A and B are shown apart, each in its own frame.
Chain A
């Protein structure tokens, strides 16, 4: 088990070794976002902006205009919230190679509470033209996603976890931005998840299988661009979709799937996530339970969805 932010921290050092164009900009949370390794190794390519996210984001655009691949790092809430319009106008409008690192995604930030638990970032980023949005499910995928993002054209938003999450993938796995991974095949319903909800969804599918329910689990690590083929293929096979994310249900990953499904092959769907409320302080596991985002809750929603499908 490791936090996905560690995957970024290790990958960015590797990138720095190989590519002189890599620069890292940080807004005072350097250790927290796991950029300290890069700072120690490449101090001349590390830029400290202090607690000035807006300045950092537009400056990242300045670096990118000069041919750099600029990683701008802070907590997800400050990156996508505080500096949203800088991302919109300085970065996305010019379609620049700025890679936005949003650490501390979701309620599992834990004790820091609502101010630091971003539940809106996927919505805020995916609404922007030219933007790519990636939420890796574990350490290895976070590493691969960081490297892939560096060489993926244009701006990319990467969301990472503060807490440790189980390993679900390995270094040898294929990773491609925009290509969802079917983690488990099934035929009765499709569970689509991102980030650490992939782990909880796999646990749910274990429990469901004991009841004779075969749940397909898709790791939708890239929310934009959406892997329409994988989603549609699975939906046509199972006839029901349950989405699970550590994000507001409005505008997030589930919404992205729903928008696509409603235009193509409408079928029973249920969106799981945070329902129109702010986070709270607490231990990550306690919060997931309190917000209804554990395997047991996923199982219950899956069962209800299958009943609905049968009607």
Chain B
């Protein structure tokens, strides 16, 4: 809801810090999804420091914008951003994936800032549809944002939800696709081709804008546009790089579900310092 755009330098330094947190968290956990966490850093920073109407001191504020991370495996990025905003103590980040932690391997409702338990792909977008319908029913003007993976959109449920959202003209629902072009088995176009991707969303009744998912101006433009779309749900296809920010992780799908070991971590953190 913010109208004034934050300083790009501020956002960039936030993104750098979040990346470091993600890598430290994953290294400490010893497992987790590195590539798909690093690809959504700018998207999340842009949402939490620019677009979302939210209050870390009142996570249940009725009129808050909702964010559903449908690609739940990217949660290290979300956890890092939420902790940085003050939703929960930063020290908890280092408990990721450990027994007794609120930072489950995939997001679990109960941790402040987490709207829904997600991780089983395709379900988050439907949950977001239910929330958007609820908001309309209650006469609230909040938005519901939903971040999806590109591989996730192989799920039939995503397209069921897409039809429902268009049918009900859910202009309070904004889907952001982290289009990093990889899924576990390999490049998306080899595993199951999504093209013509933009036209698919359009054919399902959505208004669509593509953007550079690592460029803050491009992201802010797209999210500003999405907020203004009327009578249709809006999809932002954010072109991203899996493993973004660490040279030896970028576009290397071996980092899909692998956490950095100590040597990787040191190398990666050094790169981020020098940026």
Contacts and interface: CB of A to CB of B under 8 A. Distances in A.
A54 B131 CA distance: 16
Contacts of B109: 65, 94
Contacts of A67: 134
Contacts of B129: 55, 58-59, 62
A66 B131 contact: yes
B126 interface: yes
Contacts of B257: none
B188 interface: no
B90 to A, nearest CB: 26
B264 interface: no
B117 A86 contact: no
A129 interface: no
Contacts of A55: 126, 129, 157, 160-161, 163-164
B93 interface: no
Interface in A56-106: 56-68, 70, 85-86, 89-90, 93-94
Contact of B127 (A48, A85, A90): A90
B156 interface: yes
Contacts of B157: 52, 54-55, 58, 86
Contacts of B115: 65
B135 interface: yes
A44 interface: yes
A45 interface: yes
Contact of B133 (A57, A59, A90, A94): A59
Most B-side CB within 10 Å, residue of A54, A66, A93: A66
Interface string A204-217: 00000000000000
B247 interface: no
A114 B138 CA distance: 41
Q: Using C-beta atoms within 8 Å of the partner chain, give the interface range for chain B.
A: 20 to 34
Given A65-B115, A89-B120, A54 B126 contact: yes
A23 interface: yes
Interface string B100-140: 00000000010000011101101110111111111101100
Q: Using C-beta atoms within 8 Å of the partner chain, give the interface range for chain A.
A: 20 to 34
A62 B131 contact: yes
A62 B160 contact: no
Nearest to A52: B160
Interface in B130-165: 130-135, 137-138, 156-157, 160-161, 163-164
A65 B130 contact: yes
Nearest to A93: B117
A291 interface: no
A58 B137 CA distance: 18
A49 B130 contact: no
Contacts of B128: 62
A66 B123 CA distance: 16
Contacts of B137: 23, 44-45, 68
A55 B164 CA distance: 8
B164 A61 contact: no
Contacts of A23: 134, 137
Contact of A54 (B116, B156, B167): B156
Contacts of B116: 61-62, 65, 90, 94
Interface of B: 109, 115-117, 119-120, 122-124, 126-135, 137-138, 156-157, 160-161, 163-164, 167-168
Top 8 closest pairs, chain A to chain B, by CB:
A62-B130, A58-B126, A59-B130, A55-B160, A66-B134, A52-B160, A62-B127, A62-B131
Interface of A: 23, 44-45, 47-50, 52, 54-68, 70, 85-86, 89-90, 93-94
9 contacts: A23-B134, A58-B127, A58-B161, A59-B164, A62-B128, A65-B116, A66-B134, A89-B119, A89-B123
Given A54-B156, A61-B116, 16 more contacts: A47-B133, A47-B168, A49-B160, A54-B123, A58-B124, A59-B126, A61-B126, A61-B127, A62-B128, A63-B131, A65-B127, A65-B130, A86-B126, A90-B126, A94-B109, A94-B117
